[in-house]
Amino acid sequence: MMDTGRTPLPGIADIRAAAARLEGLIVNTGLIESEFLNEKYGARILFKPENLQRTGSFKIRGAYNKISSLPDEQRRNGVVAFSSGNHAQGVARTAQLFGIKAVIAMPSDAPFSKVDNVRRMGAEVIPFDRFGADRMAVVAPYRERGMALVPPFDDPAIIAGQGTIGLEVLEDARQKSVHIDAVIVPCGGGGMIGGISLAMKDGSPDSEIWAAEPENFDDMRRSLEAGRRMSNLPGHASICDAILTAEPGEFTFEINRHTLAGGIAVSDDATIEAMRDLASALKLVVEPGGAVGLAALGSGQVDFAGKCVVVVLSGGNVDLGSYAKIIAKS
């Protein structure tokens, strides 16, 4: 671990240790490519399809690494998390694999299908009012019983777990004998891009790492420019529900400020076009927040022409009805 003088940040050794823990439990999602998309976008694009990961997103990597890092006696008490989305599934499936209890706090207006998914993995779902005063009070009784809180991104073990994506990318690039000029990663709280950037800076130091964010939720981009953590302004909406966070995490920003080349903000319309391209050319169902990397590549804000670019597709957990509406637009 790097020592910042405060709390230790994860380093490449932690990511390698995470990869050893995850071996055989997660899917090595490989890298896939489309001749049509290479032509259309004018770059060689290697997609990292984490929508094909167990639970339909990358989140199980961090959740599993975190929970397996807990001391045995603490883990036996079970775990608790806040999430209505991909993190909830990652935590619930991991708890099921360990045979321990998971309690997931979800907003009381969460879609039934998401509640049902998590329950099918054996987790207990407790509702909370998303506009209520004190979310932590909801999980307090569980934490008092010794259940560990599994945070969604701002935690060294979570970051190290997501960083295993970077190790897979490096190994596949080596096997394909390609040099990676850039990696574009969907960015919410910044845990996944933080972990990936640590792995890439170790194995391919001159690869540029770019954060892709929805317009008006480009807190990482603005924070990198300002040199300090900036929050998103209220009053905006985006279809990219999986990556709408208020601001970068403390740990994640401390990593990303050193490792990232910058951020690229994309419109929902650009994300929709990317989702359609991913369905028609790659045959992949990708959720809005998972498709922003391709939208960022296509936006022209950064010149990737002729480069070899890895685009991370972070997940595919989208309600089929909404998905059908999105891809029906032309």
- The contact set with a second copy (CB under 8 A) reads 27, 30, 32, 35-36, 39, 51-52, 54, 56, 93, 120, 276, 279-286, 316, 320-321, 323-325, 327-328, 330
| Amino acid of residue 17 | A
For a second copy, give the closer residue by CB, 31 or 308. Answer: 31
Residue 26 CB, nearest distance to a second copy (Å)? 12
- Alpha helices, DSSP H, located in 6-151: 12-22, 35-41, 59-69, 72-75, 86-98, 112-120, 135-144
d(CA 257, CA 261): 9
Q: How far is the CB of 327 from a second copy (least distance, A)?
A: 5
Kind of pairing, strands 148-149 and 79-82?
Answer: parallel
Q: For the CA atoms of 203, 166, 264, 295, what is the dihedral angle to 10 degrees?
A: 130
Q: Name the minimum Å distance from CB 279 to a second copy.
A: 5
Which CB sits closer to a second copy, 226 or 320?
320
307 is catalytic: no
Residues in CB range of 3: below 8 A, 6 or more apart: 9
Taking the least distance from each CB to a second copy, the nearer of 149 and 279 is 279
Closest distance of CB 290 from a second copy, Å: 9
Query: Shortest distance, CB of residue 51 to a second copy, whole angstroms?
Result: 4
- Let me know the angle formed at the C-alpha of 285 by 112 and 67, rounded to the nearest 5 degrees: 60
- Active-site position among 48, 59, 66, 114: 59
- Cβ distance to a second copy smaller for residue 93 or 222: 93
Closest by CA position to 198, among listed 23, 14, 5: 14
Cα four-point dihedral sign 298, 304, 305, 307: negative
For residue 89, CA distances in Å to 12, 19, 143, 201, 205 come to 26, 20, 20, 29, 33
Task: Considering the complex, state which of residue 109 and residue 319 has its C-beta at the smaller distance from a second copy.
Answer: 319
Q: Is 201 a catalytic residue?
A: no
CA gap 21, 61 in Å, rounded = 10
> CB of 312: closest distance to a second copy in angstroms?
14
Distances (CA, A) of 4 to 1, 87, 142, 306: 9, 27, 32, 38
Residue positions counted in the chain:
330
What's the one-letter identity of residue 34?
A: S
Q: Indicate which residues carry an active-site annotation.
A: 59, 314
